[in-house]
Copies of this chain bind each other. A is one copy, B any other.
């Protein structure tokens, strides 16, 4: 009857935080600092820490707060992902809606009440999801009752237009005067792409492959220093994720793709930005031209 607690989600974030900062056993975890980091008050941090204490990951000392009870790299990943599921009831339903629409289970026009029944959601939760979808541009509220799905997800034309848009935006972002190479980012991207090309393309999950690919492109656009370029790429990538998840991924194309990604990094690191931008353009257009998803 009340809202879901943030603490499961916060617990995960705390674990990710201590791992990212490579914290060691015994280090202090100040409440306010964590609260600021996750943009909440101290209250949900407290309850998250209490739960982590039960799991033995942190240790409480009276009037001194919580301390890491184990080296951060020793925290087992299994327990993380397990808890991640229960925490977010929205994401899976968001995907189910996308899937159901793409496979034709959901009609073009639907009412809120229908969706509440189908997915067994309270109105507030459903509306949150619908607004997110509408933000992503593939559903629209009708003036009277109901919502309609737009063609964005399902039409071949939109699919191709999306590739053109990405190719142009990313190329132009790279050509902006404000573009500044992020050599550290290049290095990390290089590692990921190498791992992916080095056999990773055969056993990584679809989501992991897609994320690696997206991160690469978004990292490049982030170098432009222009939030509008980055936002528009993020926006279209969220959309792309849904469509690409629905079609079978063509793993045979991945080695070529990673080689091209590495080539772009080569060009950028040797100050051949115009060349890199041109290559990036053909790289994206090529990807859009060859794949033919069943839409």
Which residues of A line the B interface, CB within 8 A?
6, 9, 38-41, 44, 127, 131, 134-135, 137, 142-145, 148, 152, 158, 161-162, 164-165, 168-169, 172, 176, 178, 226-229, 231-232, 236
Report the Cα distance A228→B137, complex, angstroms: 10
Chain B nearest CB, measured from A239 CB (Å): 9
Q: Are B228 and A144 in contact (CB under 8 A)?
A: no
Complex partner residue of A227 from B40, B143, B161, B176, CB under 8 angstroms = B161
Q: Are A143 and B9 in contact (CB under 8 A)?
A: yes
Residues of chain B within 8 A of A127, CB atoms compared? 127
Report the Cα distance A131→B106, complex, angstroms: 24
Q: How many copies does the complex hold?
A: 2
Report the Cα distance A55→B39, complex, angstroms: 55
Complex partner residue of A226 from B6, B148, B152, B165, CB under 8 angstroms = B165
Q: Can you list 29 A-B pairs, Cβ within 8 angstroms, ordered by A?
A: A9-B143, A38-B143, A39-B142, A39-B144, A39-B148, A40-B142, A40-B143, A40-B144, A41-B144, A41-B145, A44-B144, A131-B135, A135-B135, A137-B231, A158-B227, A161-B226, A161-B227, A161-B228, A164-B176, A164-B226, A165-B226, A165-B228, A165-B229, A165-B232, A168-B172, A168-B176, A169-B169, A228-B236, A232-B232
Pick from A6, A145, A228, A236 the residue with the most CB of B within 10 Å: A228
Report the Cα distance A228→B169, complex, angstroms: 11
Report the Cα distance A143→B131, complex, angstroms: 16
Residues of chain B within 8 A of A158, CB atoms compared? 227
Report the Cα distance A72→B65, complex, angstroms: 75
Report the Cα distance A9→B164, complex, angstroms: 38
Residues of chain B within 8 A of A165, CB atoms compared? 226, 228-229, 232
9 further interface pairs, Cβ-Cβ under 8 Å (given A40-B142, A135-B135): A6-B143, A39-B142, A41-B144, A127-B127, A131-B134, A164-B176, A164-B228, A165-B226, A232-B232
Chain B nearest CB, measured from A75 CB (Å): 22
Report the Cα distance A164→B230, complex, angstroms: 13
Report the Cα distance A227→B236, complex, angstroms: 12
Residues of chain B within 8 A of A231, CB atoms compared? 137
Report the Cα distance A114→B229, complex, angstroms: 33
Chain B nearest CB, measured from A192 CB (Å): 27
Q: Are A152 and B227 in contact (CB under 8 A)?
A: yes
Query: Considering only CB atoms, which chain B residue lies closest to A135 in the complex?
Result: B135
Residues of chain B within 8 A of A176, CB atoms compared? 164, 168
Residues of chain B within 8 A of A161, CB atoms compared? 226-228
Residues of chain B within 8 A of A131, CB atoms compared? 131, 134-135
